[in-house]
């Protein structure tokens, strides 16, 4: 039996996570400035320490599906050697980060177990447990 295909209409937006360290923070700043001046998006805070499932310092860029064909090609050729995770936002954040992302540069090992636990706890809170 063939696997069911998901519909792209499940995607409500995207996140790009731009990873950096002390030696590449200036490159990350340059990429951020380029994004800020060219695209319609929401730039998240700088996280100089790992946060959530992310193993390195990073900032997040949130953007709508119609911005994808503009911002992703720009990141491909302007990432300045940085590793970038781009994932869809659907109702399943674990799958979004673990199964459905694309990577520019190196694929980093995300802490999917912590994301899974966070998702379970959030669902319990929403359900009133």
CATH code, domain carrying 77? 3.30.70.1240
Residue 30 inside a domain? The answer is: yes
Contacts of 47 (CB under 8 A, 6+ apart): 54, 57, 58, 59
* Domains held by the chain: number: 1
Residue 3 inside a domain? The answer is: no
Q: What is the DSSP letter of 108?
A: P
pLDDT band at 129 (very low <50, low <70, confident <90, very high): low
How far apart, in Å, are the Cα atoms of 58 and each of 25, 83, 84, 94?
9, 10, 9, 19
Residue 101 inside a domain? The answer is: yes
Strand positions, DSSP E, the chain:
13-20, 42-43, 57-63, 84-89, 102-104
Residue 5 inside a domain? The answer is: no
pTM attached to this predicted model: 0.90
Give the pLDDT confidence of 112-124 residue by residue, as tens digits.
Answer: 998 888 777 776 6
Residue 72 inside a domain? The answer is: yes
State the residue range of the domain holding 32: 11-127
Q: Is the pLDDT of residue 89 over 70?
A: yes
Give the pLDDT confidence of 49-71 residue by residue, as tens digits.
Answer: 999 999 999 999 999 999 999 99
Residue 87 inside a domain? The answer is: yes
Residue 4 inside a domain? The answer is: no
Residue 2 inside a domain? The answer is: no
């Amino acid at each position: 039996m063939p696997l069911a295909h998901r519909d792209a209409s499940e995607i409500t937006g995207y996140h790009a996570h731009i990873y950096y360290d002390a030696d590449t923070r200036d490159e990350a700043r340059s990429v951020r400035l380029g994004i800020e001046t060219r695209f319609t998006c929401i730039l998240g805070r700088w996280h100089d320490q790992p946060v959530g499932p992310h193993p390195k310092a990073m900032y997040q860029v949130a953007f709508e599906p119609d911005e994808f064909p503009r911002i992703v090609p720009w990141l491909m050729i302007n990432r300045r050697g940085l590793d970038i995770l781009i994932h869809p936002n659907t109702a399943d954040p674990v799958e979004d980060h673990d199964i459905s992302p694309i990577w520019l540069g190196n694929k980093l090992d995300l802490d999917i177990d912590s994301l899974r636990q966070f998702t379970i706890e959030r669902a319990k809170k929403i359900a009133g447990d």
